[in-house]
Amino acid sequence: VECGAEQRQGRLGGARGGVWAAGEEDGFAGIGGVAPLRLPRGHSSCLLREHGAPGRMWKAAGMGRVGGLAMSSSEKAAKGGDKAWQRPPPRGKRDVVFGARINTAVPVSSEQDEGYTLGKYMMLPPEQYVLIPLPNKAKLDRINSGNFRLRVPELQFLNVWVRPMCEASVDVTDNGVIIDVTRCHLEGSPEVERLGINKRYELQMRVVLSAREDARGLKGVMVGRSELSVWVDPPSIFRAMFPRRLMESTGNAVLRTSLNALQSTFLKGLAQDFEKWAADGEYRKTREEAGGKKEAVKASAA
């Protein structure tokens, strides 16, 4: 555990060389991040390194306590195949770079009417996605055919909170549903406007939704793979207050936690919707009629 200079001057309650053992049960997962610790003199954001591997950072997704700190290994956090996000090169003055890569897999029921397979469901028009629930008051709206707007819940980065409003294109292909973020605008605390944060960052994000099933269609799994990278040119006041490594570690932790919650909840909702669609003819008919009515309303409004 590497704490700020003010914490290193104090006593860390018996830490040996500033290194703590860590495991999954206290809410830590992934690679490259910051852990808020309850130290004897209050809270502190501390960087967590993999023991014996200098330069390789852990990502903290929760709160830990001195003497009871826990964190998972990268292999555990990956859940068998989820490679860690790799930091891309800076882009000019935007030299603070953070991001996340999330893989999620959700099994689906094998009970389905003949011909209504998982593969067929994944080829349906993407308008269905506005019906899927999202966590923490996140909201997904359809702009037009193949384009959507996502309102993301509030995110806290150091002493600034933001609420992203993202627009994305959705393309249904034979290899999966590909979602690319095309635009993102930040709302939030007064500092967002005062410091011109919307002109100081670039964002790149892609989500791929796909399905795996056996030849008979008896066993199926929905898979979501997402990768998000953000390049930031922090205002001078932030550069003076916070080291670049701390800004990046905090960004990694915040993005991975939020992206994991959004993707997991969405994919579970999508799996439940498939199971109902695959086994309930009345539900399929209602969905088709609802989709037709929405198209008719939009056409008359135009």
Centre a 10 Å sphere on the Cβ of residue 189 and count the other Cβ atoms it contains.
17
pLDDT digits (tens, 9 = 90+) for 4-50: 333 333 333 333 333 333 333 333 333 333 333 333 333 334 444 33
Q: Mind listing the pLDDT tens digit for each residue in 61-82?
A: 333 333 333 333 333 333 434 4
pLDDT at 194: 92
CA distance 150 to 184: 9
Structure tokens at 175: 């290899």
Question: Residue 213: its pLDDT value, please?
Answer: 78
Residues of the chain with pLDDT under 70: 1-82, 214-218, 290-302
Pairing of the two strands 160-173 and 64-65: unpaired
Burial zone of 132 (CB within 10 Å; 0-12 exposed, 13-18 middle, 19+ buried): middle
The whole-model pTM stands at 0.68
- Model pLDDT, residue 267: 93
What is the reported pLDDT for 260?
A: 93
Distance CA 165, CA 185 (A): 5
Give the pLDDT confidence score for residue 45 in this predicted structure: 40
> Quick one: pLDDT at residue 40?
38
- pLDDT for 129 equals 83
The confidence score (pLDDT) of residue 216 equals 63
